[in-house]
Amino acid sequence: MRQLRYREALREAMFEEMARDERVFLMGEEVGHYQGAYKVSEGLLEKFGERRVVDTPIAEAGFAGVGIGAAMAGLRPIIEFMTWNFSFVAFDQIISNAAKVHQMSAGAIQVPIVFRGPNGAAKQVAAQHSHSCAPFYTNIPGLYVIQPSTPRDAKGLLKSAIRSNNPVIFLEGETLYGVKGEVPDEGVEELIPIGESRLVRPGSDCTIVTWGRPYYTVLAAAEKLSAEGIDCEVVDPRTLRPLDTRLMVESVKKTNRCVVVHEHWPYGGPGAEIVDQVQREAFDYLDAPLERVTGLDVPMPYALNLEDKVLPTEERVIDAVKRVAYAS
């Protein structure tokens, strides 16, 4: 299998789906002539033209709403938020319109739309540009929420998101765009189903559930723990709504321990939801309370030494695993 960067995998997904279906178009700030603020859409304008790669003014509520209206009328828009931080000014469009109209119209209107862009902290971009947004969107019935960790998942899930008949929140990662990983060869089409978790690393001593940027922190921590004789099994939910708990529950029944590692704030969100579901479904198998390693409960500071404290670290993951394994 070839190696692709995360951003290239996303670009391929959009390229293939736009070539396949005339109804698919990309709209957002700097997606066309600028070639994408993070170069995810590089080359798409040249291939598909201004009709289908639409640069917008800075007006997230406006173009999110235009996308929703276009989807209601039968198109399949991909709306790029330059970062998910800017989606907050379009929150009403997503919550009150995209997520509601299917049921509000008793199923008469579908909204096949993908909202995508980088989510979470980058590096030293401070409080307003570092939001990890999954908790906001996973709370809302009427939306799918996907947060892929690897290039392969990014491509396969974005293709499924574009083909979905529902509004999809697609949370990428600015720090993940340059990450390389295996992606099926050209001509091999892979659609990864929405709502399926993935066993990342088999192990027997402790289950770690993680996704997004901390996925890589966890894998590094698992290697170190392995050297100390603690063998971790890692599960990536990939889709956060609907949440597939099957693999994590099976894993916990085997390891009897679980640590959930995520970038978002600790209050609520998919991290807390996973703890709730796993403890109920695997209660009799648990040898320790579930632990969470999360982004700290503070707005993101600018200074690097502080930012490093806020985001989940290998050290905090290792400590948490040792605590549930009573190995510290």
Partner 1 sequence: MMVMRRFEEEAARNYAKGKIGGFLHLYIGQEAIAVAVAEVLEERDYIFQTYRDHGIALARGMSATAGMAELFGKDTGCSRGFGGSMHFFDVERGFLGGWAIVGGHLALAAGTAFKSKYTGEDSVTVCFFGDGSINIGGFHEAMSLAGLWKLPVVFVCENNQYAMGTPLERTSPLKDLSIKAKGYGMVGDRFDGHDVEVVQARINEAVERARTGGGPTFIEVLTYRFRGHSMSDPAKYRTSTELEQRKQQDPIAVVREKLTGLGVQESVLDDIDLEVDEEIDEAVRFADESPPAREDLMMSTVMAPEGES
Closest approach of partner 1 to the CB of residue 64, in Å: 7
Catalytic residue from among 16, 30, 129, 250: 129
Closest approach of partner 1 to the CB of residue 34, in Å: 17
CA distance 256 to 254: 6
Active site residue 129: yes
| Residue owning tokens 């799918």 | 144
Catalytic residue from among 60, 80, 291, 307: 60
**In the complex with partner 1, which residue's Cβ is closer, 71 or 261?**
71
**H or E stretch covering 133:** none
Closest approach of partner 1 to the CB of residue 22, in Å: 9
Helix, coil or strand: residue 6: helix
Q: Considering only CA atoms, which of 208, 270, 207 is closest in space to residue 243?
A: 270
Do 14 and 26 contact (CB within 8 A), yes or no?
yes
**In the complex with partner 1, which residue's Cβ is closer, 3 or 103?**
103
Q: Which residues pair with 25 in a beta bridge?
A: 77
**In the complex with partner 1, which residue's Cβ is closer, 49 or 299?**
49
Number of Cβ within a 10 Å radius of residue 3:
10
Q: Tell me phi and psi for residue 188, to 5 degrees.
A: -100, 105
Closest approach of partner 1 to the CB of residue 48, in Å: 12
Distance of alpha carbon 56 from its chain centroid, rounded?
Answer: 24
CA distance 254 to 268: 26
**In the complex with partner 1, which residue's Cβ is closer, 51 or 185?**
51
Closest approach of partner 1 to the CB of residue 188, in Å: 21
**In the complex with partner 1, which residue's Cβ is closer, 41 or 93?**
93
**In the complex with partner 1, which residue's Cβ is closer, 184 or 195?**
195
Side chain identity, residue 69:
G
**Nearby residues of 22 by Cβ (< 8 Å), 6 or more positions away:** none
CA distance 219 to 209: 11
- Residue-wise DSSP of 228-248: TT--EEEEE--EEETT--HHH
Do 89 and 60 contact (CB within 8 A), yes or no?
yes
| Chain positions contacting partner 1, by CB under 8 A | 25, 51, 56-57, 59, 61-75, 89, 92-93, 96-97, 101-112, 141-142, 144, 164-166
Closest approach of partner 1 to the CB of residue 289, in Å: 32
Closest approach of partner 1 to the CB of residue 130, in Å: 24
CA distance 165 to 112: 4
**In the complex with partner 1, which residue's Cβ is closer, 43 or 242?**
242
| Residue owning tokens 């862009």 | 117
- Residue-wise DSSP of 157-168: HHHHHHH-SS-E
Hey, which residues are catalytic here?
60, 129
